[in-house]
Amino acid sequence: MLSGKNILIGITGGIAAYKICELIRMYKRMNANVRVVCTPNALNFVTKLTLQNLSQNDVGVEEFNIEQYKPEHISYADEADIMVIAPATANTIGKIANGICDNLLTSVVCAFNKPIIIAPAMNCGMWENEFVQENIMKLVNAGFYIMEPESGFLACGYEGKGRLCSLDKIYDKTVELLSVNKILSGKKVVITSGGTIEAIDTVRYISNYSSGKMGAALADVAYEMGADVILITTKDVQKPYGVVKVKSAIDMKDAVEREYDSSDCIIMAAAVADYRAKNIADYKMKKSESNEISIELIKNPDILKSLCEMKQKEAVAVGKGSSVLNIEPHKSPVIVGFCAESENLMENAKIKIAKKGCDYLIANDISRKDIGFSSDYNEVSVISKSGTIKNLSKATKKEIAKQIFEEIYG
Ligand code: C5P
């Protein structure tokens, strides 16, 4: 996977810098081309000669090299397919998050427009510092891949979170990002996620246990595959792509329909409540003397079905020859639904795809504890309108998301 790839490693001045010698060897063993840029402080922990020998390349530290005609930060940024900053100190993280470029490494980052992995390592108190955390959130929002530090015994003598994550994790993330197929580039993908929240009064609501993880994984992967992504969700999330926060099924329907015309693919991964309270009290309802109360519920609109009906109408209009008007017909989006069942999964899924009229239905068994709701794993079947079935075996939700897009667009 890494053969011939250009990996730029950025090393900053933390004690974990010595571990990066092994990371360079791991990449080199797979025939990657490795170049290293260091902050001047990094060289207090590891020598330039070591890094040069391991990477078999010059090591960049100085920003202004008078023997080079090209500005160095631009050439480093142009040549690399990916940048890996490890260890990343609180200082360098702060500079990157605030656009400061006062050395070669930070200037390269500023000019870099490909994936950047950041593996922080620092004292646990520094990691917990609210400004450091604010900077990390800024980087997450801007699309940097942060490798969370691990907990344990730290070089400074403290016990806590701050150790550089394992080199295997950094290596695997590098492989994952370099093997992403940009099959969604130029496409707009809209994804819904989370359980809808249906108000009863000003303080109470009806909802469900959906974690929103499958929808978020689909959105993350679509983004990595080059799509313009909109995630319509009931959860609080910070992402480097568009997020629309909604509460109820009605809000979600409005938000999705607003995106319909401009989207190429809509995936309804949200757990939309089937019913909502008929009357929502605009005050906090009082406890009554009675042991029982009733809340009258009415059916929510079926968002997926109504999207499929919109698509059907477009197909009919095009069929009737609306293009005679010389208007380019709207290219209807691919519509994908989810089918969460606890019994007779495939039978119900086949009935559902026909009833809803969507192009694909992703069927998952929510009776299993090891996958589905709240889990980071899933195991699904992708059923198409034409009747094909592709079973995707148990994997992380991100891996499943990748395989779903490959099934639809591959
Ligand atoms: O009908 P059922 O809830 O089993 O179908 C699940 C699929 O339909 C999911 O894709 C879900 O997001 C969508 N759905 C919807 N509107 C509803 C209920 C479900 O779009 N009111």
CATH at residue 21: 3.40.50.1950
Atom number of ligand 1 nearest to Cα 192: 12
Among the listed residues 38, 124, 156, 308, the single catalytic one is 156
Ligand 1 centre to CA of 188 (Å) is: 21
45 falls within a domain: yes
Of 178, 199, 231, the residue at which a domain comes to its end is 178
Q: Is 21 a catalytic residue?
A: no
158 falls within a domain: yes
238 in the same domain as 160: no
pLDDT number for residue 40: 96
240 in the same domain as 263: yes
Ligand 1 centre to CA of 42 (Å) is: 53
102 falls within a domain: yes
Ligand 1 centre to CA of 359 (Å) is: 14
124 falls within a domain: yes
286 in the same domain as 238: yes
Of 133, 157, 178, the residue at which a domain comes to its end is 178
DSSP annotation of 322 reads G
pLDDT number for residue 337: 97
Lowest mean pLDDT among 180-189, 313-322, 352-361: 313-322
161 in the same domain as 55: yes
| Mean of pLDDT over the chain | 93
* Gap between the Cα atoms of 61 and 104, Å rounded: 6
Of 123, 150, 178, the residue at which a domain comes to its end is 178
263 falls within a domain: yes
Kindly indicate the confidence band of residue 20, based on its pLDDT and cuts at 50, 70 and 90. Answer: very high
217 in the same domain as 162: no
List pLDDT tens digits, range 346-396.
899 999 999 999 999 999 988 887 877 778 899 999 999 999 999 999 999
Output 262 or 317, whichever has higher pLDDT. 262
Q: Tell whether the model's pLDDT for residue 67 goes beyond 70.
A: no
Most distant CA pair in the chain: distance in Å?
A: 87
Q: Name the strands in the sheet holding 242-245, side by side, starting at the edge strand that comes first in the sequence.
A: 242-245, 228-233, 188-193, 265-268, 334-341, 360-365, 377-384, 389-396
| 59-69 mean pLDDT | 77
pLDDT number for residue 264: 97
241 in the same domain as 310: yes
Ligand 1 centre to CA of 350 (Å) is: 14
Q: Tell whether the model's pLDDT for residue 323 goes beyond 60.
A: no
* Substitution site in 272, 275, 352 for ligand 1 pocket (most atoms within 8 Å of beta carbon): 272
* Substitution site in 250, 298, 303, 355 for ligand 1 pocket (most atoms within 8 Å of beta carbon): 303
Q: Is 51 exposed, middle or buried (0-12, 13-18, 19+ CB in 10 A)?
A: buried
395 in the same domain as 273: yes
DSSP annotation of 239 reads -
**Two structure tokens written together for 353:** 């795809």
* Gap between the Cα atoms of 102 and 63, Å rounded: 9
48 in the same domain as 165: yes
183 falls within a domain: no
Kindly indicate the confidence band of residue 325, based on its pLDDT and cuts at 50, 70 and 90. Answer: low
Q: How many domains does the chain have?
A: 2
405 in the same domain as 263: yes
| 328-349 mean pLDDT | 88
Length of the chain: 410
Atom number of ligand 1 nearest to Cα 362: 10
1 falls within a domain: no
192 in the same domain as 140: no
* Gap between the Cα atoms of 384 and 87, Å rounded: 45
Domain that holds residue 100: 6-178
Kindly indicate the confidence band of residue 343, based on its pLDDT and cuts at 50, 70 and 90. Answer: confident
237 in the same domain as 121: no
Kindly indicate the confidence band of residue 1, based on its pLDDT and cuts at 50, 70 and 90. Answer: confident
List pLDDT tens digits, range 107-151.
999 999 899 999 999 999 999 999 999 999 999 888 899 999 999
Kindly indicate the confidence band of residue 253, based on its pLDDT and cuts at 50, 70 and 90. Answer: very high
Lowest mean pLDDT among 221-225, 333-337, 344-348: 344-348
Q: Give the pocket of ligand 1 (CB within 6 Å).
A: 249, 268, 270, 272, 274, 300, 302-304, 337-339
Q: Facing residues of 188 across strands?
A: 228
38 falls within a domain: yes
The neighbour count for residue 144, using CB atoms within 10 Å, is: 21
CATH number at residue 300: 3.40.50.10300
Q: What is the pTM of this model?
A: 0.84
212 in the same domain as 166: no
Output 318 or 171, whichever has higher pLDDT. 171
